[in-house]
């Protein structure tokens, strides 16, 4: 009889199908190959990419795909019997990405995605489908790239009642605003530069109009407050109307301008907004420049937590995807929105008019007598108290437009809304006023 104990049975590999071989998909494959020893040691089992899919099969991507089957039909890819987890790197809220996600979860496969639009619009239904079929659903990379903010809220801050989530969630907008701040250039000039450098898309609407940030905020709010995800409830405005003069005036007042997503829940009502704001220089978000993302979460016991880092790019996004892969390999993925889908609460939308705060308001007005009196009268009649008022110089020697900026004292938001209603249609205003909330320190 041999005294040698039998070797323990080999742990079966985790078998992966990857859909999408663009920047993110190729980044995932490179990370797995480069860090294979680390990834597999932490996963506790081998990782095998058994199948891939992309629009073009034969295109050179600088990575060896010989060991993986190429499957053109995404539904067939998702339902393969030799696949445990599907990584979706196709993109888009609907269409092929959603069909792949539904097929994978419906077949009991784990699903990992970086697709914030799909999760923002369909996350609740996908979570329900995942639960029904006992399949893990993970999307760390959908919010803030490589920053582990989803895991941080869902696990690290799990013992806390989250009181408020505030974040710079779009790198393109932050790059534009911080570059305007550093150079004094105006929006259109910096946007063109960002497009030339590849920081902004040819059609930058999703970024500069706040939609991308709103997708991410809706996801964070659902996790942080145990709410059913409700993208339609996110009030969104972008940065197109921010001028170099606004940024210069903010600096004089001790602020910077950032596109900020804010979510908080009071008395069971959820407020979700993405807006350019004046941020005090003492606030952590004031020092976030370039294409960086940052999220501040405030827990009732943890206090203020700051998550900061690269919000996009092949490396950071791949890092978050493979981190989810390791969790699934370990069997520790957990509920995607922190609670079981059936326990997520349908929360009423908060009325922003009751919120109390300060605002920066900029008017573009005709350079003529009586304009200031008209504006201040509207503020008085609406109950808005003015802390300071600044009139910029003439636009030209013989009249034209001038900028009038003011900072309000703290008061209900409905009063500022009423003041602007009183001024609506005024011949003195040559453009819609710009209202930037002042973020609390």
Query: How far apart are alpha carbons 199 and 290 in whole angstroms?
Result: 10
- How far is the C-alpha of 195 from the C-alpha of 94, rounded, in Å? 26
Q: Is residue 79 a contact partner of residue 85, using CB atoms and an 8 Å limit?
A: no
Q: How many CB atoms lie within 10 A of CB 294?
A: 23
How many Å separate Cα 225 from the centre of its chain?
A: 16
Cα(182)–Cα(187) distance, rounded to whole angstroms?
12
Q: Are 167 and 263 contacting, i.e. CB atoms less than 8 angstroms apart?
A: no
Asked if 104 contacts 125 with a C-beta cutoff of 8 angstroms, the reply is: no
CA–CA distance, 320 with 145 (Å, rounded to integer): 7
Q: Are strands 292-299 and 162-168 parallel, antiparallel or unpaired?
A: antiparallel
**Chain CA centroid to CA 201, Å:** 16
What is d(CA 219, CA 223) in angstroms, rounded to the nearest whole number?
6
Give the DSSP letter string of 52-111: EE-S-SS---SS--TTSEE-S-HHHHHT-TT-SEEEE-S--SSHHHHHHHHHHHHTT-EE
- Crossing angle of helices 36-43 and 23-34, in 10° steps, is 80
Tell me the catalytic residues: 216
Distances (CA, A) of 106 to 48, 116, 130, 137: 22, 20, 7, 12
Spatial separation of the C-alpha atoms in residues 159 and 271, rounded to whole Å: 22
Residue in the block written with tokens 């979860």 = 105
> How many other CB atoms are found less than 10 A from the CB of residue 14?
22
Strand duo 47-53 + 137-138: pairing:
unpaired
Tell me the C-alpha distance between 439 and 289, whole Å. 17
Return d(Cα 286, Cα 340) in angstroms, integer: 36
Residues found in the chain: 441
């Amino acid at each position: 009889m041999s005294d040698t104990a039998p070797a323990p049975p080999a742990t079966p590999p985790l078998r992966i199908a990857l859909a999408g071989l663009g920047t993110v998909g190729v980044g995932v494959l490179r990370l797995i190959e480069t860090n294979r020893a680390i990834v597999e040691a932490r996963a506790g089992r081998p990782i095998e990419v058994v199948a891939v899919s992309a629009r073009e099969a034969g295109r050179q991507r600088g990575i060896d795909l010989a060991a993986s089957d190429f499957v053109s039909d995404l539904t067939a890819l998702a339902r393969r019997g030799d696949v445990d987890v599907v990584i979706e790197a196709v993109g888009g809220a609907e269409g092929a990405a959603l069909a792949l996600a539904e097929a994978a979860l419906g077949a009991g496969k784990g699903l990992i995605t970086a697709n914030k639009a799909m999760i923002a619009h369909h996350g609740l239904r996908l979570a329900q489908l995942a639960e029904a079929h006992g399949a893990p659903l993970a999307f760390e990379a959908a919010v803030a790239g490589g920053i582990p903010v989803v895991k941080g809220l869902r696990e690290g801050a799990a013992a806390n009642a989250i009181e408020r989530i505030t974040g710079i969630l779009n790198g393109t907008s932050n790059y534009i605003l911080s570059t305007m701040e550093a150079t004094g250039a105006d929006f259109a000039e910096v946007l063109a530069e960002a497009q030339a450098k590849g920081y902004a898309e040819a059609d930058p609407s999703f970024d500069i109009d706040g939609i991308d940030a709103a997708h991410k905020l809706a996801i964070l709010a659902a996790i942080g407050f145990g709410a059913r995800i409700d993208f339609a409830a996110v009030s969104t405005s972008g940065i197109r109307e921010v001028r170099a003069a606004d940024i210069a005036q903010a600096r004089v007042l001790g602020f910077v301008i950032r596109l900020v997503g804010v979510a908080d829940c009071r008395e069971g009502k959820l407020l979700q907004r993405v807006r350019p704001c004046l941020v005090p220089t003492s606030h952590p978000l004031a020092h976030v420049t370039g294409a960086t993302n940052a999220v501040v979460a405030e827990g009732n016991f943890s206090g203020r937590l700051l998550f900061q880092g690269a919000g996009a790019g092949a490396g950071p996004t791949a890092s978050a995807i493979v981190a989810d892969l390791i969790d699934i390999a370990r069997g520790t993925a957990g509920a995607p929105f922190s609670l079981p889908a059936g326990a997520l609460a349908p929360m009423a939308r908060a009325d922003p008019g009751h919120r109390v705060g300060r605002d920066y308001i900029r008017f573009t007005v005709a350079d003529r007598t009586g304009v200031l009196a008209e504006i201040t009268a509207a503020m008085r009649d609406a109950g808005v108290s003015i802390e300071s008022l600044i009139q910029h110089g003439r636009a030209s020697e013989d009249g034209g437009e001038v900028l009038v900026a003011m900072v309000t004292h703290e008061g209900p938001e409905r009063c500022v809304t009423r003041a602007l209603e009183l001024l609506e249609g005024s011949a003195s205003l040559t453009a819609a006023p710009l209202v930037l909330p002042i973020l609390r320190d």
